Structure 1
Amino acid sequence: MTKIKTLTIQFNTPLQRRELPLFRGAIIASISTGNILFHNHNEGSTLRYAYPLIQYKRIGGKASIVCIEEGVEAIGELLVAENNGKMKIGEKEETFSVSRVNALQTNVQCWESIFEYRIRDWLPLNESNYKIFCEEESLTNRIKKLENILIGHILSFAKGINLHFEKQIEVSIKTIDNIRKVKYKRVSLQCMDISFKTNISLPNFIGLGKHASVGFGIITKVKSKDNHQNNIDI
């Protein structure tokens, strides 16, 4: 059993989905130490190929940050930044004050029981596997491919927090909704919302998959059998 620390900070500042990269840039500019956890780049601007432990979100329509493990300690650098909460989102100067903080510990492990989650704005397909996905005529096989990709994304998260599962991960996709194309850094990507069941317990509001650091692939646990979910507006 591994307890994972998460800290979700929600600001009182409304944020549009398209403004998330600007929000991320504003936070990074506020950190005088250049801590790698805030931007996930090594020296020379090369990518840090590891699961992001500080993630920039839009939760309840407001600018938010989700911190995981070492990211929880690192976020203190933002809270003591000498900017009086003022940051520029594009050309707009905004004052960011914290409206809600939620610190949790989640047991991340394989269980005999099953958990149900939703993912919003999930990016499972890159250019190469999207072509393979479209060429697959069987709907069953398409869903199976997505399930295998999702297992890979869960494993990437686990690797990022130095966790190894002793048992096999089970994933079953229940619904697929709102399939659409989105652009990120001028690259067209296939985006979708899904609900799925798994034998892995996962923390609320972490991101899974591509561009998890800027609000894609946010998961929320379905609370009960009648599918009431956490309030999230991405």
Structure 2
Amino acid sequence: MTTPTTTQELQVCRIKFPEIQLQTRDAHKLRGYFGNLFKQQSPILHNHYEDGRLRYKYPSVQYKVINKTPTLVGINEGAALLPQLFLKIQELDISGKSYPISSKNVEMRNERTGYSDQLHEYRFETLWMALNQKNYPKYQNLKTEAEKEAMLNA
């Protein structure tokens, strides 16, 4: 593997709750639970600004269920925020069911990203959907690629 020609280093924090088993489709319930629990802390936790506008950026905090394990992933500013908030969590409430938490697996690391002359194989564990049914038509009606990129980065 060669060193990428243009690189960026990202700080990544992963918090896993290994004693809890959920279905992959429950990831949005994690987002809803933590988004409500910490709604006053930061818009990066739920991608809504205080005035109700949506934050159209790649999520700095992601809520996933990987191999049935609830997993939170923070990138850069999200990586700094996750340990401050989520290490205090003692239970999860998903769909009215309470899951006590006695252990958390926390991993902090720096990841290099960028362009490479080599081919790399990737596998997506979960999908990211930047647009929903309501904002997709707005995105489609934008005239230029610059406008579309600006909407996704707003």
Q: Is TM > 0.5 for Structure 1 vs Structure 2?
A: yes
CA shift, 1:126, in A, is: 8.3
Matched, 1:115 2:120: yes
Higher strand fraction (1 or 2): 1
Which residue in 2 is equivalent to 1:90? 95
Equivalences for residues 140-219 of structure 1 within 5 A: none
How far apart in 2 are the matches of 1:56 and 1:91?
A: 18
How far apart in 1 are the matches of 2:76 and 2:128?
A: 24
How far apart in 2 are the matches of 1:54 and 1:126?
A: 18
Contact (CA 8 Å) 1:3, 1:108: kept in 2 or not? yes
Closer/same/farther in 2, CA of residues 44 and 7 from structure 1, 3 Å limit:
same
Contact (CA 8 Å) 2:39, 2:45: kept in 1 or not? no
Contact (CA 8 Å) 1:37, 1:74: kept in 2 or not? no
Contact (CA 8 Å) 2:11, 2:76: kept in 1 or not? yes
SS in 1 for 2:20: strand
Q: TM-score, length-normalised on structure 1?
A: 0.48
CA shift, 1:123, in A, is: 6.6
Contact (CA 8 Å) 1:37, 1:52: kept in 2 or not? yes
Closer/same/farther in 2, CA of residues 39 and 50 from structure 1, 3 Å limit:
same
How far apart in 2 are the matches of 1:123 and 1:79?
A: 22
Q: TM-score, length-normalised on structure 2?
A: 0.70
Contact (CA 8 Å) 1:6, 1:66: kept in 2 or not? yes
One-letter amino acid of the counterpart of residue 37, structure 1: I
Matched, 1:58 2:71: no
- Counterpart pick for 2:12 among 6, 9, 34: 6
Q: Where in structure 1 do 4 or more consecutive aligned residues deviate above 6 Å?
A: 123-127
Percent identical residues: 26
Contact (CA 8 Å) 1:7, 1:103: kept in 2 or not? yes
SS in 1 for 2:121: strand
CA shift, 1:121, in A, is: 4.7
